[in-house]
Structure 1
Amino acid sequence: MTGNQDKDPDNQIADIVETIHEIRDQKETSIEAMIDHLGVASFTPILLFVSLVIVTPLSGVPGLSSISGMLIAMVSAQLLMGRERLWLPAFILRRHLPRRKLDTALSRLEGPLKWVQDVTTRRLAVLATPPFSYLLYTICLLCGAAMPFLELVPMTSSLLAAVVALLSISLISKDGVFALLGLTGLATTVAMVATIGQLLG
């Protein structure tokens, strides 16, 4: 299972759309099979794909938000370390997703991804390139690491996944506008969790 870090960014979102078609055509529903398909692109599209899945109804599958959060954290960490080969533990790779729910989730991703492909362009690219890009990957890591602990708090996993998705889109397309949207979403999520914590306290 390999991933070449950040090939031509103009093609990667299109690669993900094509990969969704491939995954829907196959019978295998393991996370390993899906990651193998995404291996033709790079680490960052894996972040985008996994985070988008958690925004869909698949987030209701017990334990999936936690598994996906760990996956996001590990991919982000390996990106920050500059690894060229992605390593993931077997207990994550063996996880299978319900076929019907997976098909529904993937069908809902195609339209938004095609829209993103049409609207993204190089704007405020400084926000999506080093050294600022390292901050975005660090935020993705922290969001993923937080998901297992916040899974029981309504909507937080989906909101954190949306932040990761927006930051991933920015990093793939070098569109700083999506980075700003992701950071705004992060601030909103943190404020919401803090408010819930105060209410429960």
Structure 2
Amino acid sequence: MAEKTRALSDVLDQLEESAHGDSIAIQDVIEKLGHRSFGSLMLVFSLISTSPASAIPGITATVAVIVFILVAQMIIGRDSVWLPGFVTRRRMSTAKLCKGIGWLRKPVRFVERFLKARLTFLFHRPWLWLPLSLILALTLFMPFMEIIPTSGSIASAVIALFAAGLLARDGVLVVLSLILLSAVPVAVWYFGFSG
């Protein structure tokens, strides 16, 4: 049980361990988390885009590309992660990355207190195809969200919630992520065009 409730923090630990020097390549993150860790990679990159590290120019668009490719490979049933060279060669500031990880620690620990295996049928086909298809559609709009402050972070938070559910086998989180996903267009409109 203890291992299960540390699922998200363990991913942050692994990411922090891979951060050396002035910058880190996305390929280094993949090597650290493992080529079969679709859920972990989706969680890490969506959390980066949710955290203060999202201030890195182009990070929302990069995360959208990564998540799109990960989800597409999950839909077709691929066993290991493949990302194109122009993505894996991209580098991030380790200082900003570590700052983002530190910022995420407290909310991640809070969420972990409530995680447990529930509604696990949602992680089997064909049920899994619905959330994956909706996440895939969301990533297509994320690059355009960079022009609207906070909207990219909102979309990334929804993806992070889904990925956390995937890692912890918690179907309740998956359902919650789908509910929040339906609210993303409203939130983007509110933050981008209201007032």
Give the equivalent residue in structure 1 for 2:95.
100
Q: Find 1:165's aligned residue among 160, 167, 183.
A: 160
Deviation at 1:64, TM superposition (A): 1.0
In the alignment, structure 1 residue 154 sits paired with structure 2 residue 149? yes
- Opposite residue 46 of structure 1, the aligned amino acid is L
In the alignment, structure 1 residue 47 sits paired with structure 2 residue 35? no
- Opposite residue 92 of structure 1, the aligned amino acid is V
In the alignment, structure 1 residue 61 sits paired with structure 2 residue 56? yes
Deviation at 1:197, TM superposition (A): 8.1
TM-score (norm 2): 0.85
Give the equivalent residue in structure 1 for 2:131.
136
Q: Find 1:87's aligned residue among 62, 68, 82.
A: 82
* Number of aligned residue pairs: 191
Sort the Cα spacing of 1:159 and 1:196 in 2 relative to 1 into closer, same or farther, 3 A.
Answer: closer
Q: Supply the distance in 2 between the matched residues of 1:34 and 1:172 (Cα, whole angstroms).
A: 17
Q: Supply the distance in 2 between the matched residues of 1:22 and 1:168 (Cα, whole angstroms).
A: 21
Q: Find 2:115's aligned residue among 120, 136, 146.
A: 120
Consecutive unaligned residues in structure 1, runs of 5 or more: 1-8
Tell me the SS of whatever aligns to 1:97.
strand
Q: Supply the distance in 1 between the matched residues of 2:36 and 2:105 (Cα, whole angstroms).
A: 17
Q: Supply the distance in 2 between the matched residues of 1:54 and 1:196 (Cα, whole angstroms).
A: 17
Aligned-pair identity in percent equals: 29
Q: Supply the distance in 1 between the matched residues of 2:34 and 2:47 (Cα, whole angstroms).
A: 17
- Opposite residue 72 of structure 1, the aligned amino acid is V
Deviation at 1:196, TM superposition (A): 7.1
Q: Supply the distance in 2 between the matched residues of 1:82 and 1:95 (Cα, whole angstroms).
A: 26
Consecutive unaligned residues in structure 2, runs of 5 or more: none
Deviation at 1:198, TM superposition (A): 7.8
- Opposite residue 43 of structure 1, the aligned amino acid is F
How much is the aligned-residue C-alpha RMSD, in angstroms? Answer: 2.5
- Opposite residue 163 of structure 1, the aligned amino acid is V
